Each structure stands twice: as C-alpha cells, then as structure tokens.
Structure 1
Amino acid sequence: MNELIITVEVKESTAILKLYGILDISTNASIEPYLEKMGDIEVLVFDFSGLDFIDSTGIGSIMNAIYLSEEKHFIVRLQGVNDLTHQVFEMVGLYQILDAMQGEVI
C-alpha cells in the first residue's frame, strides 16, 4: 500500500510541508486539504527530502500549489529534491513554470 505522510511546520509567515513516502495517483489528494488550510503565508516550502517516489499526478499536485500561490499571493519553494526527482522536474518543465510565475526558482 502506498502511503504519503505530510507534516506541517509554520514559522512566522512560512509554512513547510514535509513529504514522506510516495506521492502518486493514490496519495496526491492528501496535499489538497493542507493547501486549503493555508492562511496568510508568504512562503510555502515543499520539503521532498523524505519522498521516495513521485509520479505525474504528484507533479500535478505541486503544479496546483504553484497556481494557487499566484491566486493567494505566496511564493513556492522546493527543497530536499533528490537527483531523480530533480531530473523529472526539469523534464516536465516544473522549474520553468515556477520561474515564469514567480521570477525565481527554489
């Protein structure tokens, strides 16, 4: 069974979502409730250091957060991205979208 564990740490105006396990079609809906609960934050950090696997639906969840950031006026940062996930993010253009929407990457 695939499992995704999410922990949230809020420091001042920054929320850090730490992802552990697998972010795929069976777990990607787990992120949405956390995004809906985000109050007045300036920065949302996705910490991928505990992530074992991400598929295209998981990437879609990250993309949704990036689009939400434009609507709610916060910045998305990515940290703890391993080499394989980094390559996938580059291949699908996630960094370019993040850069185009926010003017900065990571």
Structure 2
Amino acid sequence: MLTIKIKDSSTHLVLSLIGEIDLSTAGELEETVNAISHKAEHITVDFTQVSFIDSTGIGAVISLILSSMDAPFELEFKGESPMVRELFEMVGVYKVLSVAQKEG
C-alpha cells in the first residue's frame, strides 16, 4: 500500500510517500505526479517513510525524472533511507536525476 500526501505551498509541492512503491502502487505515483505537475515550479519527493521499493517502483521514479525534463517543474528528492539510497545509487537513479536537472 502507498499513501501520497501532498503539501502545496504556491509554486512548491511536496509529495510525501508513505509505504511501498511496487507493482501494485507504482501507477498511483505516476498518476498523481501527472495530475499535479502543471501546478508547481518545484516538486520535492519525500521518501522518508518509504518502507520498500521494487523494480517497478524504480521504473516509476525514473519515469517521474524523465517527465520533469519535458515539464516546467524542477524535481528534488529527499529523505531516502539508506536502503533506498543504496538501491538508487546501484541502478543509476541519481545519475538520471542529475542529467535531468542539467538539461531541464
């Protein structure tokens, strides 16, 4: 199960992800971001309370990064646990994010 809490402060949105990002919840993350991406100049995704992420979840995160390249918002991650951080480093999520930030 994944809960997404959205904190809206004018041009900055914070998405707090709570739970698991996996095959059954990755679509919800993508749909939420697609629905709100036009409302902000800056989106922060807070992974503090993510307890599990699988390959489908990583795919959703990469999709989010790639969509930020074509959208008018800047993307930032925060609160990654050591497990999530290690996984993101291992599969290259941070490299994709870095490229997106340079090109966006």
What TM-score comes out, normalization by structure 2 length? 0.91
- The answer to whether the aligner puts 1:16 opposite 2:14 as a matched pair is yes
**Is there any run of 5+ residues in structure 1 with no aligned partner, and where?**
none
- 1:78 partner letter: F
TM superposition shift of 1:53: 0.4
Matched AA of 1:17: L
Q: Greater helix share, 1 or 2?
A: 2
Provide the rounded CA distance (Å) in 2 between the counterparts of 1:4 and 1:23. 6
Provide the aligned C-alpha RMSD in A: 1.0
Identity %: 32
Q: Which runs of 5+ in 2 are unaligned?
A: none
Deviation at 1:61, TM superposition (A): 0.8
How many residues are aligned here? 101
**Aligned partner of 2:99: which letter?**
A
**Aligned ranges for residues 32-43 of structure 1 at < 5 Å?**
32-38=30-36, 39-43=38-42
Partner in structure 2 of residue 66 of structure 1: 65
Structural mapping, 1:20-99, within 5 Å: 20-38=18-36, 39-99=38-98
Counterpart residue type for residue 51 of structure 1: V
- The amino acid across from 1:100 in the alignment is V
SS at match of 1:37: helix
**Runs of 4 or more off by more than 3 Å in structure 1?**
none
Q: Are the counterparts in 1 of residues 68 and 100 from structure 2 also a CA contact under 8 Å?
A: no
Secondary structure of the residue aligned to 2:88 is helix
Q: Deviations over 1:35-70 (max 9, x none)?
A: 122223111111011110011111111111111111
Within 2, Cα distance between the matches of 1:25 and 1:33?
14
